[in-house]
Amino acid sequence: MNLLTKYCFVLLSVIFFTSCEKVIEFNGSVTDPMVVVNSFVTPDSVISAQVSLSRFFLSNEVTFDMIDNATVSLLVNGSPKENLTHTSNGVYVGTYKPAIGDSIRLQVQAPGKNEVSCGTSIEPQTAVLSVDTSSVFNGAKTPIITVNKTTGFIDTIGNSLGRTLKFVLRFSDNSAVQNYYRLVVITKTYTSKGFMQDYNFSFDDIVSGNANKDAVGPPTSLTSNKYNVFSDDLFNGKQYPLTFSIQDVKNVYYPGKAKAETIREVNINLQSISKSYYLYLQTRTSIKTNTFFAEPVQVFSNVDGGIGILGSYTSNVVKIVL
């Protein structure tokens, strides 16, 4: 493409986008705010929920109005259990930790609003059978330097070698029901001052549907599955080897130069999630990956009479020390 052609292309693009600009006045009616309920329940924690009011989509406000005087009732397996207590910022907390198999329902009555309700069930823990690992060094090498306390000079005591750690997590799927999963991988680095957490990993398994499934490294903007959720459509009722990877370094010290290593561990959490939680995260992903010309996506809601989400998840964490 020569310079004249490039100039004409840019000029036509500017004219096209300028000519398409049109201000459209909103002639509809402004609807009353709806009650919004957001809650994710798990056997590891007491049940809590945040209650707020929805915001008109053309509003200039950037925050939501929280409701601090609602009555939030918890029902377990169809029977009243307790009323959640308001703490702050529209958050209501109870004392009950749900059990696997529980049917959970929240009923919310806010002053001047119709009662809204939502329900979910606590899924069984995923049956993790094994986790296998392998290392692939990528050739990257960074010197490890330190200050010699005797001479005051900087010493090179070894090298940090870049590598990709590949994992195969094998688990068993229940054929009796449709199952939904979420993979969460956290690398923790412990030092004398505490620990740091890194959530980056590459979910390259075919069930992820990621656009960059053949890439090596942490997720990029091309990743289509932002929340790492998947269903058992491809392996219903079978044992499945789930693959993913992280970027890591291995320290190799010169003879006599070794020093105390920091402790690093990988926490692999294969969550069994409710269908409502799966659909919610799927639609959230669709919004994040929309292009300029794409149709708007409505976030999934399972709140009757209002909007929001009541989802559930059950964790199964495997820890691997590097």
Are 115 and 154 members of one domain? no
Hey, what amino acid is at 12? L
Q: pTM for this one?
A: 0.81
Q: How many CA atoms lie within 13 A of 293 on its CB side?
A: 2
Last residue in a domain, options 97, 121, 145: 121
The SS3 of residue 278 is helix
Residue 3 lies in a domain: no
Are 101 and 139 members of one domain? no
pLDDT of residue 292: 45
Structure tokens at 310: 């009541």
**Locate tokens 């005797």: which residue?**
150
Are 73 and 221 members of one domain? no
Q: List pLDDT tens digits, range 98-157.
A: 999 999 999 999 999 999 999 999 999 999 999 999 999 988 889 888 887 777 788 888
Residue 93 lies in a domain: yes
Are 238 and 285 members of one domain? yes
Last residue in a domain, options 121, 155, 183: 121
98 and 122 in contact (C-beta within 8 Å)? yes
pLDDT of 215 > 50? The answer is no
Sign of CA dihedral 185, 191, 192, 195: negative
Poorest-pLDDT segment among 1-5, 70-74, 113-117, 272-276: 1-5
Are 252 and 272 members of one domain? yes
Confidence band for 27, pLDDT divided at 50, 70 and 90: low
Are 95 and 224 members of one domain? no
164 and 187 in contact (C-beta within 8 Å)? no
Residue 1 lies in a domain: no
Are 165 and 264 members of one domain? yes
pLDDT of residue 297: 60
Residue 240 lies in a domain: yes
Residue 26 lies in a domain: no
- The residue range of the domain holding 113 is 35-121
Residue 15 lies in a domain: no
Are 113 and 142 members of one domain? no
Name 197's Cβ contacts closer than 8 Å, sequence gap at least 6: 186, 187, 188
Q: Total domain count for the chain?
A: 2
Poorest-pLDDT segment among 125-129, 167-171, 220-224: 220-224
Residue 12 lies in a domain: no
Are 135 and 281 members of one domain? yes
What's the rounded Cα separation, in Å, for the pair 304 and 118? Answer: 6
Last residue in a domain, options 78, 98, 121: 121
Give me the CATH number covering residue 72: 2.60.40
Are 202 and 277 members of one domain? yes
pLDDT of residue 210: 80
Are 117 and 131 members of one domain? no
Are 191 and 277 members of one domain? yes
Residue 190 lies in a domain: yes
